[in-house]
Amino acid sequence: MEIKTEAKKNVRWKRLLLWMGGSLLGLILLVIIGAYYFLNRPLPQVNGDIQLKGLQQAVEVVRDEMGVPHIEATNEYDLYFSQGYVQAQDRLFQMDLSRRQASGRLSEVIGESTVDTDKYFRTLGLRRAAEESVAEYSDEGMRVLNAFADGVNAYIEELHTTGKWPIEFTILGYKPEAWKPIDSLTIGKYMAFDLGGHWKDQAFRQYLLQTFPEEKAYDLFPTYPEEAPTIITKEQLDFSTAFAQAVIPHEFNGSNNWVVSGDKTATGKSLLADDPHLGLATPSVWYQMHLQSDEVNVGGVIFAGVPGIILGHNENIAWGVTNTGPDVQDLYIEKRNPEDPHLFLYNDKWEKAQVIAEPIKVKDSETIDYEVIETRHGPIISEFAADAATSETALSLQWTALEATTELEAILNMNHAENWKEFEEALAAFEAPAQNFVFTDREGNIAYKANGKIPIRKKGNGLLPVPGWTDEYAWEGAIPYDELPTIVNPEEGFISTANNKVVGDDYRYHISHNWAQPYRQMRIQEVLSGSNKLTAENMMELQMDEKNLQAEEFVPVMLKQLANEKGENIQSALDILSKWDYQDHQDLAAPYIFNRWMVEIGEALFEEQIPKETLELFGGKRSAVDQLLRNAFAGNPGPWVKDVGGINELLVVSLTETLSQIQEDEGGDMANWNWGDYHQVSFTHPLSSVAPLNYLFNYQGSMATGGSAVTVKAAAFKNDGTVNHGASWRFVMDMNNPMQAYHIVGPGQSGHVSSDWYQNQMADWVEGDYHKTTLGEPEGKRLLLTPEE
C-alpha cells in the first residue's frame, strides 16, 4: 500500500515537473515570439504598393541588395517627397535625434542628463541660424525643402495609424513631431559644428598664457604670435574651467580625397576617391540613395534628414570633400557693464546685447528658464563657467555658420551640374562648413577648390581671443570667391587632400594655423605618384592602406635613442619595432606598441600639468607632440621635454608605462600581442550606453581592425582601444563607367535593428569589400508609391 502511494506521489511530481517545464517552455516561446514581433513590427514596407496623400504621380522605389533606395519620379516635387518618405522609413529616430541635438531639445525626451548639452546648443543657436537662412533660399530651394518635409510627415502620419513606431520611440516613450523645413537646415548647421572652426584652440592658447611662462606656452603654439596678445587673468575668467560643459567635436574630423587624370590610369579615364572621417556609429551618419527624375540622375550619400545628394556623382561628373579646417571662429573678449549684465562696451559706448529666451523642457522635471545673451559678435559662450555669470569679462563667439547660409541651394545645383564651370558656380552658395572639393567629369578634367566663407580679419590672426570692445579686430568680409585656393588639371596628373595645409606661406590670405598631421597626405601622394596605370581597384586598396608614416619617421630615431637602454622588456619591444614594416596590421605586435606609446608620450608630457577637461580643447595636440619630438631629437628640446627629464627619460618612462598597460591586458609574452586584440570597431547605437540595450543594438559586438589615426585607413581609437572615428563612407568613382560607383556605408543602411541592412556592411568596412551601385536600372525589392485615391 505504501509503495503504491509513493508511486502515485512520484507520478504527480513528474506530471508537475512536466507541466512546469511545459509552462516554462511556453513562456520562453511567448517571450521569443513577443520579442520577434516587437523587433520586426516596425520594419518598413519595401515592396508592393502604398498610397500616399499629397503625392502627385506614381513613384518607384527599388531597394537593391545593400538596401540602397533608388527613387524614380517624373517630377521634382514627387522626387523629394519620396526621398523624405524613404529616409523616414529607414532612419526616422536618427532624424529626430539629430534635429533635437542640434536644436538643444534632447532633455525633452532623455531627461536631466542632457540639460548641459541642450544649454550649449541653445547658446550656440544653430537653429536660430537656420531660421535666419530661410530668407536666403530661392523659391526652388524652398519647394524642395517643403516637398521633403511633406514626405517625412506622410510616413509619420502612417505610423500614427499603424502604430509601428521604431523601437527607440517605444523605449523612450514618445512620438516625433511633424517635420519642418527648418529641421533639415538645422541638421545642416550641425554638420558645420561637427567639422569645427578652432575656437577651442584659441581658448587653449589663452589658458597656456594664463598658466605657464611665456616660453613654455609658446612651445605649444603652431606659430609665434605676430603681436603681443591680450591677456585675460584667471581672476577675470579662468580658462581651465570656462568650457567644462562645452561639446567639443572629435579631434580627427577630417577625410581623404583625391582625383587622378586619365594620363595616370589604366583606362585613360579619370578616377576619384573620397572617404569622409566622422564618428562611427549605428546608424551611419550617411544615407546612400539614388535619385532620378526627368531633370536629374544622381547617386551618393546625404545626411539623414536632408534632401538631395551632398557627395557622389551623376551621369557626367563626380565629386568628394575633405574638411579644410579654416579659422572661421573667433573668441571676442567682452567687457560687461558691472551694473547691467546685458550691456557690453564697444568703441567707448555701452551696447545692449540681445537676450533670447530659450526655455528648456526636461522630461519628468520642471522647465528650465534659460536665457542666451548675444553681443554684436555672437553668443556669450563663457557662461558655462560656474562663476562667469557675474564676471565683468565674458567671451563671445563669432562664427560663419551662425550667419545665414544656403548649403542646400548649392547641393541641388551640384546635383544638376554637368561640368566644372557649372559645378564651381554651384559651390559659391556652399559657405559653411568650408570644404576641400575634388571634382572630375566625363571629359577627363580634374579640379580642386577650397570652398567656403573664410573671414578676413582687420587685425589679429586667429591665434588667440581678441578684444571685443573695439572694432580693431572686426571681420572685413571674406576671402573673395575667385581667390579661394583652386587647381584645374595640374601637370602632376592628380590632386589629393587629407586635411593638410592647402596653401603656401605666400598666399595673401590667412586660412588656418591648424592642419592635420601630414602622414595620410604623404602616403596618398607616395602611392599616386608611383604609377601611371592606376585602376579603381588601386583606389580601393589605397583607401584601406595601413602604412604608418609617422612610425617610419620616428621609430628609427627612437631605436637609436634607446639603443643602450637596459631592461629586458624595453629591449624586447625595441627588437619587435626594429623588424616592423610600419604596416598597422591588426595581427602584429609592433603597431600595438607604437600607437600606444605615442599616446603615452602625450600623457607623460601634459597630464600632470594640464587638467583633463582643458586638454580636450587642445585640437592640435598630436601635431604638437610630433614637433616636440622632432625638436628634441634634433638637439633642441623645449621646456615641456626638459620638464620631464629630457628626451631619453620621456621615451623610457612612456615606453615602460605602455608595456606595463599592454602586459596587464594581454600577458607578458609579446609574441602573442596583436594590434587587433585592442584596436576594435563596434559602431555603437546612441541608446546602447544603457545596459542591457547594448546587447540589442550592438548585437554584432566588435571587430578587430587595422589602421590608426595617421594611416589612410583612418581608425582613431579611444583609451580603451575602441575605434570610434574613421571613414564613415568610402567612395570610388571610375569615369570609364560614370553610371556606377563603388561604396561602403559602415555599418549599413537601415536604422532598424532587425533589418537585414542594419549592420551588414560592418565586416565590409573592416575588410574593404565594396559594393557597386548603379544609376541605371537597379534590381531589388520594388515599392510603388501612388497618389491616394
What whole-number distance in Å separates Cα of residue 527 and Cα of residue 545? 10
Question: DSSP label at 654?
Answer: H
DSSP labels, 320-337? EEEE-----EEEEEEEEE
Q: Domain residue spans in the chain?
A: 1-40, 549-582+589-673
Cα 332 from Cα 458, distance rounded (Å) = 14
- CA–CA dist 241, 203 (Å, integer): 11
646: Cβ contacts below 8 Å, ≥ 6 apart: 632, 637
766 near 744, Cβ under 8 Å? no
Q: How far apart, in Å, do the first and last CA atoms of the chain sit?
A: 80
What is the C-alpha separation between 626 and 629, in angstroms, rounded?
5
What is the tens place of the pLDDT at every residue in 285-338? 999 999 999 999 999 999 999 999 999 999 999 999 999 999 999 999 999 999
Is the distance from CB of 731 to CB of 525 less than 8 angstroms?
no
Instruction: Look at strands 466-467 and 329-337 and give their pairing.
Output: parallel
pTM: 0.94
The rounded distance, in Å, linking the Cα atoms of 451 and 324 is 8
Binding site listing for Ca(2+): 327, 330
Under DSSP, is residue 534 helix (H, G, I), strand (E, B) or coil?
A: strand
Name every residue whose Cβ is closer than 8 Å to that of residue 365 and which is 6 or more positions away in sequence.
111, 112
Residue with cell 574613421: 726
- Residue 12, Cβ density class (10 Å: 0-12 exposed, 13-18 middle, ≥19 buried): exposed
Asked whether 494 and 529 are in contact (CB, 8 A), the reply is yes
Sequence-distant (≥ 6) Cβ neighbours of residue 690 within 8 angstroms: none
The four Cα atoms 281, 285, 287, 293 give a dihedral, to 10 degrees, of 180
Backbone angles phi, psi at 385, to 5 degrees: -75, 140
Alpha carbons 645 and 91: distance in angstroms, whole number = 53
**What's the pLDDT score for residue 387?**
44
Please name every residue paired with 292 in a beta bridge, in sequence order, or none if there are none. 72, 297
For 686, other C-beta atoms within 10 Å of its C-beta total: 17
Catalytic residue ranges:
255
**What value does the CA radius of gyration of the chain take, rounded to a whole number of Å?**
28
- H-type alpha helices, 163-224: 167-172, 181-194, 199-211, 214-218
Average pLDDT for consecutive 10-residue bins of the chain (789 residues)? 58 64 54 64 96 97 98 98 98 98 98 96 97 97 98 98 97 97 98 87 92 94 72 68 68 83 98 96 97 97 98 98 95 94 97 97 97 96 59 92 97 98 98 97 97 95 94 97 98 97 93 94 98 97 98 98 92 97 98 98 96 90 96 97 97 98 96 97 93 91 97 96 96 98 97 97 98 97 95
Task: Give the dihedral sign, CA 703/709/710/712.
Answer: positive
Of 586, 600, 517, 576, the C-alpha closest to 546 is 586
Respond yes or no on whether the N-terminal peptide bond of residue 69 is cis (omega within 30° of 0): no
In 370-441, where does DSSP find H-type helix?
A: 407-416, 420-427
Residues annotated in a binding site = 327, 330
In the three-class reduction of DSSP (H, G, I as helix; E, B as strand; rest coil), residue 63 is classed as: strand
